[in-house]
Amino acid sequence: MDFAGVIQDIVWTISFLFYSGIMSPGMNAILGPTGSGKSSLLDILAARKAEAGLTGELLLDGAPQPPNFKCISGYVIQDDVVMGTLTVRENLQFSAALRLPRHIGRIEQNKRIDKVIKELGLTEVANSKVGTQLIRGVSGGERKRTNIGMELIINPTVLFLDEPTTGLDASTAHAVLLLLKRMSKQGKTIIFSIHQPRYSIFKLFDSLTLLANGRMIFQGPAFKALDYFATIGYNCEPYNNPADFFLDIINGDSTAVEARQNEYFDTGVYSDIDKYHDIAMYRVIGTYSDISKYNEDSFDHIVILWTSKVDFCHAISILVSLSMGLVVGALSFGVKNDLNGIQNRVGALFFMTTNLCFSSLSAIELFVIEKKIFIHEYISGYYRIFAYFLSKLLVDLIPMRALPATVLATVTYFMIGLKQTVSAFLTLVLTLIQVSTTATSMALAISTGYNVVAVANLLVTLCFIFMVILSGLLVNLVSIVSWLSWLQYLSIPRYGLRALQINEFTGLKFCNNSHQCTGEQYLHSQGIDATAWGLWQNHVALILMMVIFLMISYAKLCFMKKFS
């Protein structure tokens, strides 16, 4: 007699008298057809679902789930969320720097990273870039293992995986599950959802949870599942994959279902389903040890990650600004103090402000492309929202906005021959930087929360087009009808162009057919206040707009995290 098997059966029987389910160290698979609730159940178990509307209790070693459980357990989402521009080792370093407690030094971090790389079989590709759509990188299986490695850095006893075989061929999928099996033998509780595994993968399961329409129809040892269905009249055909057999029963497509007529089943779906608990009511016993040594303060890090992508985009933006500056400077080279000089000056200033506005469209991708990465890393405890938001702004606004604006201002200023004073030059640089950062802030405020870059790009572009029309060059703002004139106060280029014109034209004299006119007279004809306050009120307006837009973007990040 197999006493070990008998004892295990007794443990499972007793557990079901008190709990809706139990998941112990080993391979715990959640199986079911599309839409059955696998991912939802996984998120509930991992404390990644809002508690509103849920009932029941989750226990770990008989104790309530700790508040910071999601930060100290591992969770590998279905879509790989590694940074493709970084190497395998750099991705693991990123996870270690943000997720490990502060008392763990750099030497210990590197030891953990080396251990994870060796365990995952990534030694040969440790210094290879993961890869993006433009950069050739590691294979799909190596990318998945890197994704898993980022969670293993904190050495979690409980590891959740959502569809870990998605996008992998059969052989690679089997290799990934063998890796998880080896980890489970080290005492880890591996809980994962899976859709339709082949038999070689099914044999690796220790525990099996079958779901249908959000309800559990079986939960217990995987090797007992066939016996259970046989006792209620569903026999697996010879050479049939058990996983396929279970899904056929759930979907009502199996020959066993056609031959079986029972009071419990109707076309393969359990009819007396109310006797089972909803997935939100599972009580799961896992094993988790020494969780008290961690606390949420250990994860309050601000780390700015400079990647090769940022450096590349930085260089490109500098070159573009330099090229644009040379073109505008050549077209308006050596302006004179006549009517042509007025037109050339205004045209150059208009081009600079407009160019910087539309250059800010590159910021749209900042929170769109990395949306899934942000949500996963925030929930996993990599950082707080404000730390992520601030680091992104520091990385983008300074090198990607301020420096190109400075280059553009410097090149055009001296080639065109604008007012040759230090204060006028510094004011020009400051104004262009403010225009660039404010336009970028507006782009972030609009685009944050969107899933598709094209949609956000269209909305931001439309806003900029209307702003450019109301900037003061294409339309005389004084002549706009009163019920539309308020729109000019929403235009970023308007404030920038006005500040630049006041800075340039104040104090200049122009000659027109032996008649002289002043720069102040030209400004007055455009409805522009040429006083000192007339200049600085534009800067104040740009600062206020930037702050408001950044607050909107931050609020949308918080909203996106809460409801995603």
Lowest-confidence region among 143-147, 308-312, 442-446: 308-312
Q: What average pLDDT does this structure show over 286-295?
A: 38
Paired sense of beta strands 215-221 and 207-212, if any:
antiparallel
Q: What average pLDDT does this structure show over 392-403?
A: 83
Both tokens of 559, joined, read 């909203």
Residue 512, burial from CB neighbour count under 10 angstroms (0-12, 13-18, 19+): exposed
Beta bridge partners of 30: 193, 209
Q: What average pLDDT does this structure show over 403-412?
A: 91
508-516, Cβ contacts within 8 angstroms, sequence gap of 24 or more? 508/337, 508/419, 509/337, 510/337, 510/338, 510/339, 510/341, 510/342, 511/337, 511/338, 512/338, 512/339
Both tokens of 551, joined, read 């607050």
Contact predicate 223/217, CB 8 Å:
no
Q: What average pLDDT does this structure show over 473-493?
A: 84
Give the model's pLDDT for residue 493. Answer: 93
Q: What average pLDDT does this structure show over 180-200?
A: 89
Q: What average pLDDT does this structure show over 252-272?
A: 48
**Highest mean pLDDT pick, 48-57, 130-139, 529-538:** 529-538
More confident residue, 18 or 7: 7
**Angle formed at CA 517 by CA 513 and CA 519, multiple of 5 degrees:** 135
Residue 433 C-alpha from the chain's centroid: 27
Lowest-confidence region among 89-98, 122-131, 305-314, 478-487: 305-314
Q: At what angle do helices 385-396 and 371-379 cross, to 10 degrees?
A: 140
Diameter over CA atoms, the chain: 117
Lowest-confidence region among 66-70, 82-86, 217-221: 66-70
pLDDT reading at 97 higher than 70 = yes
Distances (CA, A) of 137 to 78, 130, 152, 523: 19, 5, 22, 57
pLDDT reading at 198 higher than 80 = yes
At residue 561 the predicted structure's pLDDT band, cuts being 50, 70 and 90, is low
Q: What is the mean pLDDT of the chain?
A: 80
pLDDT reading at 431 higher than 90 = yes
Task: Give the number of other Cβ atoms within 10 Å of residue 14's Cβ.
Answer: 11
The residues, any chain, with a CB within 8 Å of residue 562's CB and separated by 6 or more, are 50
What tens digit of pLDDT does each residue of 125-136 get?
A: 999 999 887 788
At residue 276 the predicted structure's pLDDT band, cuts being 50, 70 and 90, is very low
Report d(CA 164, CA 148) in Å as an integer: 9
Give the model's pLDDT for residue 103. Answer: 87
pLDDT reading at 5 higher than 60 = no
Percent of the chain with pLDDT over 70: 83
More confident residue, 163 or 274: 163
Give the model's pLDDT for residue 512. Answer: 66
All structural domains of the chain, each given as residue ranges with its CATH number in brackets, are 10-72+157-282 (3.40.50.300), 298-559 (no CATH)
Lowest-confidence region among 17-31, 87-101, 533-547: 17-31
Contact predicate 150/98, CB 8 Å:
no
Give the model's pLDDT for residue 514. Answer: 61
At residue 496 the predicted structure's pLDDT band, cuts being 50, 70 and 90, is very high
Give the model's pLDDT for residue 301. Answer: 39
pLDDT reading at 111 higher than 80 = yes
pLDDT reading at 257 higher than 60 = no
Lowest-confidence region among 101-115, 248-262, 369-383, 470-484: 248-262
- E strand or H helix at 220, and its extent? strand 215-221
Q: What average pLDDT does this structure show over 335-363?
A: 88
